[in-house]
């Protein structure tokens, strides 16, 4: 990960880890991201005529109402100060990726032209699990990619 979104997520991770509140901050960032998916809320925070100070008051109200940890509030203030509130969903996703790695999760996506049979899926899962190190957990996602049939026609 790189860029501003990754920097916000990394700061959140480092501070939450020091304070021992990683899961709390993860949940709270997810909550804020969900709140900001609302059209009216998103429009408010994307409106350039609304001052950074007014946006901060709104974020503080959300944080106070939900009783967010101070680290979550500080991360939101930093994101707001940089004019990047519209990126909170991406920050939450990036933080989730960091947390996934922290938990030892190894993500794999299998894309096939047709839905895998249960036995094929199990064989792939078994083969991938053999490659994991101690303490790692496989998080396997399956998807069907119909363009696999016609890769040069898309």
- Residues 6 or more apart in contact with residue 22 via CB below 8 angstroms: 13, 16, 99, 102
- Residue 110 lies inside a defined structural domain of this protein: yes
Question: What pLDDT does 145 receive?
Answer: 78
pLDDT in tens, 22-45: 999 999 999 999 999 999 999 999
> Do residue 61 and residue 123 come from a single domain?
no
The whole-number average pLDDT for the span 89-96 is 95
Together in a domain, 8 and 73: yes
Q: Are residues 28 and 93 in the same domain?
A: yes
CB 32 within 8 A of CB 96: no
pLDDT for 140: 87
Parent domain of 31: 4-102
Same domain, 53 and 96: yes
Confirm whether 39 is domain-assigned: yes
Mean pLDDT of the chain: 91
Q: Name the nearest CA neighbour of 140 among 123, 151, 149, 148.
A: 123
Residues 76 and 93 reside in one and the same domain? yes
What is the spatial distance between Cα 83 and Cα 51, in angstroms, rounded to a whole number? 10
Q: Is residue 80 part of a domain?
A: yes
Q: What is the pTM of this model?
A: 0.78
Tell me what pLDDT residue 4 has: 86
Work out the angle between the directed axes of helices 52-66 and 22-35 (0-180°, nearest 10): 120
Whether residue 150 has pLDDT greater than 60: no
Q: Is 120 in the same domain as 51?
A: no
The per-residue pLDDT for 19 is: 97
Q: Is residue 134 part of a domain?
A: yes
Both 20 and 67 in a single domain?
Answer: yes
Identify the pLDDT of residue 69. 97
pLDDT confidence of residue 114: 85
Mean pLDDT throughout 46-72?
A: 95
- pLDDT band, residue 149 (cuts 50/70/90): low
Give how many domains the chain has, as a whole number.
Answer: 2
Residues 41 and 63 in one domain: yes
Q: Is the pLDDT of residue 67 over 80?
A: yes
**Does residue 78 lie within any of the structural domains?**
yes
Q: Does residue 122 lie in a domain region? A: yes
Q: Are residues 50 and 92 in the same domain?
A: yes
Pair (137, 96) in one structural domain = no
- 3-state SS class at 17: helix
**pLDDT at 113 (0 to 100):** 83
């Amino acid at each position: 990960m790189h860029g501003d979104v990754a920097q916000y997520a990394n700061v959140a991770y480092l501070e939450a880890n020091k304070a021992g509140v990683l899961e709390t901050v993860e949940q709270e960032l997810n909550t804020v991201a969900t709140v900001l998916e609302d059209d009216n809320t998103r429009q408010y925070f994307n409106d350039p005529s609304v001052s950074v100070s007014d946006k901060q008051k709104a974020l503080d109200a959300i944080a106070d109402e939900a009783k967010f940890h101070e680290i979550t509030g500080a991360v939101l203030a930093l994101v707001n100060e940089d004019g990047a509130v519209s990126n909170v969903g991406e920050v939450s996703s990036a933080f989730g990726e960091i947390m996934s790695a922290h938990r030892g999760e190894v993500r794999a996506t299998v894309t096939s032209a047709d839905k895998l049979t249960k036995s094929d899926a199990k064989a792939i899962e078994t083969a991938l699990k053999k490659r994991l190190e101690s303490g790692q957990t496989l998080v396997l996602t399956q998807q069907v990619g119909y363009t696999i049939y016609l890769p040069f026609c898309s």
